């Protein structure tokens, strides 16, 4: 019963995080904005913003629409604005995975079916570092739930779930900050 309740709670957090991600697909440039300011609010870099939007310079215009993430913010979201909601922050090495790898069932350690929910924001963790079911904010990825484990996920290492192999390859290997949310 406890495992079922955790799975339900995790699923609810994923769906609410996924809805928030979908809404953040583009950003409209406002007066006073710079690429640096926008990149910081979406936990990314100026170079990445320029790449996503095919910009050759740092010049942007008021009203200009910028894509956030390689595919409509699938990989980025604004940081939580309520700093009191963060109980801890850690730096981790991050890789990415999909539900379609060789030998993968598509169902996480907490029972989330990633094949039925390909846009679910789930990370694989070492439960000794981040307990399963914990809601987190991952720099460059957004809000997610610690809903899976993996054989190579030990210590300060996470694996972020991506809906496609190409998105997982684009993520690559990076060092990110993870905020443990209350």
Task: State how far the Cα of 177 lies from the Cα of 175, in Å rounded to an integer.
Answer: 7
- Asked if 123 and 144 count as a contact pair (C-beta separation under 8 A), the reply is yes
Domain range annotation of the chain: 2-20+79-181, 26-67
pLDDT of 33 above 90: no
The pLDDT assigned to 154 comes to: 96
39-49: b (≥16 Cβ within 10 Å) or e: bebbbbebebb
Mean pLDDT of 158-168: 93
Which superfamily, per CATH, for 26-67? LysM domain (3.10.350.10)
Mean pLDDT of 38-47: 76
pLDDT greater at residue 125 or residue 51: 125
Residue 39: band (very low, low, confident or very high) from pLDDT cuts 50, 70, 90: confident
Mean pLDDT of 5-16: 42
Task: State how far the Cα of 146 lies from the Cα of 158, in Å rounded to an integer.
Answer: 9
15-19, 52-56, 60-64, 176-180, range with the lowest pLDDT: 15-19
pLDDT of 88 above 60: yes
**56-81 pLDDT, tens digit each:** 888 888 888 888 775 433 334 455 54
CATH 3.40.640.10, applies to 2-20+79-181: no
Is 0.85 topped by the overall pTM? no
Mean pLDDT of 35-57: 80
Residue 91: band (very low, low, confident or very high) from pLDDT cuts 50, 70, 90: very high
The pLDDT assigned to 79 comes to: 54
> Per residue, what are the HEC states of the chain?
CHHHHHHHHHHHHHHHHHHHHHHCCEEECCCCCCHHHHHHHCCCCHHHHHHHCCCCCCCCCCCCEEECCCCCCCCCCCCCCCHHHEEEEEEEEEEEECCCCCCCCCECCCCCECCCCCCCCEEECCCCCCCCCCEEEECCCEEEEEEECCCCCCCCEEEEECCCHHHHHHHCCEEEEEEEEC
Nearest to 134 by CA among 113, 118, 152, 149: 149
């Amino acid at each position: 019963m406890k495992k079922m309740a955790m799975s339900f709670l995790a699923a609810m957090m994923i769906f609410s995080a996924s809805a928030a991600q979908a809404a953040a697909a583009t950003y409209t440039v406002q007066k006073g904005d710079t690429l640096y300011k926008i990149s910081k609010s979406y936990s990314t870099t100026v170079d990445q913003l320029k790449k996503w939007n095919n910009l050759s310079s740092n010049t942007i215009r008021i009203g200009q629409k910028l894509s956030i993430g390689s595919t409509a913010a699938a990989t980025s979201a604004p940081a939580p604005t309520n700093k009191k909601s963060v109980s801890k922050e850690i730096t981790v090495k991050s890789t990415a995975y999909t539900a379609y790898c060789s030998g993968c069932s598509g169902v996480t350690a907490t029972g989330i079916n990633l094949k039925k929910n390909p846009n679910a924001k789930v990370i694989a963790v070492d439960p000794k570092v981040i307990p399963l079911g914990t809601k987190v904010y991952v720099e460059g990825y957004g809000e997610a739930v610690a809903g899976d484990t993996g054989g190579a996920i030990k210590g300060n290492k996470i694996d972020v779930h991506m809906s496609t192999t190409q998105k997982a390859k684009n993520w690559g290997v990076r060092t990110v900050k993870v905020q443990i949310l209350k």
